[in-house]
Amino acid sequence: MNPHPTKLTEAAEPPRPETAAPRELTLRWAWVLLGAITVVHVLLGARGTGLRHTVHVGLAAFYLAPIVMAAKARGARTGAVFAGAASLLYLAHVALRDPAPWPSLLDELAVVAGFVTVGLLVGSLTTDAERRRDERDRVLLAANRSEVRSALDGLVIALGARDPALAEHSRRVADLAELVAHELGLDRSQRAAAHLAGLLHDVGKIGLGDDVLHSDQQLSPEQWAKIHDHPRIAADLVRSVGGDDDLAEAVLAHHECPDGSGYPRGLRDAEIPPLARVLRVADIFVAITEARHYRPAAPPDSALEELRAMAPARVDVAALAALESVIAKGWWAPGHLGRHVELAAATCGLEIVAAKGGCHEAQ
């Protein structure tokens, strides 16, 4: 029986751009216009003949304006509501104007029927147009997502070509980051983003030379500067192929520490994006439990102990608690690491731990 929860890596459908405010404004103006027409109608008094009769007829027709406005703003249902309101106001005016309106009742009902017909027709056309627009947008969005995801996958492939072990590390970090995000109660799209951020967090190391990436000696200040710049390069690469800002920010901040001692920007506490906090604990845990050519893989318990020693100054407490829960539930079994140990031991570079408890740097 697989202890893993089902992996969900497809992003949820994003909401359409916000249009509520303009529609609500249109709806308010429709109510205002409906009331204004009724007031003028009442003030004119009896229908009479000549110019007054013409004005009455025109005002009755003008009721169509707020009905159309409402139907275009909210569709057939709202159009019907406004048509009903206009009909009641119109018939009330007719009743006040003529206590016995029976001779012209059919004419008045015809006017009301026109209100309802226009409201339903315009509303239905608006709803149908919006449905077609939504379908078009979904097709365009799906095509755009496919292109962006292909480009992001290309970055992962490039990382694997540059250093297969680094790509394997990234895949393990992605799996674990998604599990930690799941344990934190993050939604489907955030879990998918955590997984994708894990795959991409080290793509900035593509351009690092072997003297940095595979060094078993103490790095020089110049080499450290290159290491410290890899999150920024990774974020720039993600943005350059169409990745969204949240994904790029998670990649950029995955080496930031709550006490501000991280890099590249020295962010503190809440300044660090939530996905970056998840990514950080997953990255450190995986790095410690991977075999290196100069040391064997550490067991999960040792990795957790080291992470606990780093909290709360250098890792997020909530993310660490979620990671501990993932391990305790057996979702991250030792076998998940075992199939990667041989490759990691043969090809993976140096893991550097800054002196006296500085921020972890897994290469």
CA 152/CA 149 separation, integer angstroms: 5
Q: In Å, how far are 44, 67, 94, 116, 334 from 87, measured between CA atoms?
A: 18, 10, 10, 8, 73
CA 176/CA 169 separation, integer angstroms: 11
- In degrees and rounded to multiples of 5, residue 350 shows phi and psi of -70, 135
The pLDDT score that the predictor gives to residue 69 is: 83
Q: Is residue 73 part of a domain?
A: yes
Q: Is residue 148 part of a domain?
A: no
- In degrees and rounded to multiples of 5, residue 47 shows phi and psi of -70, -45
Q: Is residue 4 part of a domain?
A: no
The pLDDT score that the predictor gives to residue 243 is: 79
Q: In Å, how far are 40, 138, 172, 189, 233 from 200, measured between CA atoms?
A: 66, 26, 12, 16, 11
The residue whose two tokens read 């292109």 is: 147
CA 289/CA 304 separation, integer angstroms: 10
My answer on whether 74 and 187 are in the same domain is no
- Burial of 349 from C-beta contacts in 10 A (0-12 / 13-18 / 19+): buried
Give yes or no for a contact between 23 and 73, defined as CB atoms under 8 angstroms apart: yes
The pLDDT score that the predictor gives to residue 273 is: 95
My answer on whether 90 and 178 are in the same domain is no
pLDDT digits (tens, 9 = 90+) for 264-310: 999 999 999 999 999 999 999 999 998 876 678 899 999 999 999 99
Give yes or no for a contact between 70 and 81, defined as CB atoms under 8 angstroms apart: yes
My answer on whether 168 and 24 are in the same domain is no
Tell me the mean pLDDT per 10 residues along the chain, length 363.
38 44 81 83 64 68 82 81 82 67 63 79 78 72 62 79 84 93 92 90 81 68 82 89 87 95 93 96 94 81 94 96 94 54 29 32 40
Q: Is residue 152 part of a domain?
A: no
pLDDT digits (tens, 9 = 90+) for 24-38: 888 888 888 888 887
148, two tokens: 């962006």
> Can you give the residue range of the structural domain that contains 95?
20-142
The pLDDT score that the predictor gives to residue 136 is: 72
Q: How many CB atoms lie within 10 A of CB 267?
A: 19
pTM above 0.85, yes or no: no
My answer on whether 324 and 190 are in the same domain is yes
